[in-house]
């Protein structure tokens, strides 16, 4: 049963020990992620289902990482310790593998798209199991339908599940941004944040393709999956905890209750 959902950014710089002081420049995001961790733990999930755009990607399927135990660190960002590890939610993984279009990926490593939010969840006290999805780079309606299919699995699953959907907004907000500056960056973020804040699902599914491409982002597909995941919930309340654009990248933190 799905009991909570959230949309999170994934910059390693906001994790204590990784940012080496630079996390102070993203204070609003750090505080929002800490609050989000507390909100998630308050819902007492036994399992967290993560979708990360930096896990396996596919243009023809929904990737599902399958293993006995997930583990990861920020070694590639210069910090080998600490490491995080989570038992895999074996029963849930088995059920998800039966979803049409799911591609099983035998992999246990956690990428930063998953590990950044998980670090905050663990800090808040989450000690449960994990299931990790990659992102299908497919048309909006198909991604939405994958979200719906996973929702049906969760509806029949007896355990309490929280969904953590990861995505960064434009990487082109300033001249020193990872993708360089583009005027489309700010426009993308304003349009996307407005749709997320109002939880306007049609706007997310019919998002301007040129704006999403030129905006240099990895958030839209994640949000479209989330829209499908929550489509059958009778009433969805979106609560934006923060938005800011330090380091030239847009970070949105939002929780969803239903």
Predicted TM-score of the model (pTM): 0.97
pLDDT tops 90 at residue 86:
yes
Average pLDDT over residues 81-108: 97
pLDDT tops 90 at residue 158:
yes
At 243 the pLDDT is: 98
Supply the Cα-derived Rg of the chain in whole angstroms. 17
Average pLDDT over residues 161-176: 97
* Architecture of the domain spanning 2-257: 3-Layer(aba) Sandwich (3.40)
CB within 8 Å of 164: residues ≥ 6 apart: 5, 6, 8, 40, 48, 49, 50, 51, 114, 117, 118, 121
* Structural domain boundaries in the chain: 2-257
At 186 the pLDDT is: 97
Average pLDDT of the chain, as a whole number: 97
Q: How far is CA 24 from the centre of its chain?
A: 22
Q: How far is CA 167 from the centre of its chain?
A: 5
């Amino acid at each position: 049963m799905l009991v909570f959902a959230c949309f999170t950014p994934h910059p390693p710089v906001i994790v204590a020990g990784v940012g080496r002081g630079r996390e102070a420049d993203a204070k609003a995001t750090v505080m929002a992620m800490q609050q989000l961790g507390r909100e998630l733990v308050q819902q007492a999930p036994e399992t967290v289902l993560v979708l990360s755009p930096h896990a396996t990607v596919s243009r023809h399927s929904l990737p599902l990482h399958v293993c006995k135990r997930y583990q990861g660190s920020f070694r590639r960002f210069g910090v080998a310790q600490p490491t995080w590890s989570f038992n895999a939610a074996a029963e849930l993984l088995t059920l998800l593998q039966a979803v049409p279009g799911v591609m099983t990926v035998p992999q246990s490593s956690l990428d930063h798209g998953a590990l950044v939010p998980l670090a905050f969840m663990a800090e808040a006290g989450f000690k449960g199991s994990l299931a990790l999805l990659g992102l299908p780079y497919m048309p909006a309606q198909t991604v939405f339908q994958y979200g719906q299919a996973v929702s049906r699995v969760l509806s029949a699953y007896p355990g309490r599940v929280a969904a953590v959907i990861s995505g960064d907004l434009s990487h082109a907000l300033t001249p020193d941004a990872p993708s360089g500056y583009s005027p489309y960056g700010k426009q993308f973020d304003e349009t996307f944040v407005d749709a997320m804040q109002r939880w306007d699902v049609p706007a997310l599914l019919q998002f301007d393709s040129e704006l999403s491409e030129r905006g240099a982002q990895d958030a839209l597909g994640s949000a479209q999956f989330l829209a499908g995941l929550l489509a059958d919930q009778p009433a969805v309340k979106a609560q934006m905890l923060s938005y800011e654009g330090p380091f030239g990248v847009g970070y949105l933190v939002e929780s969803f209750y239903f």
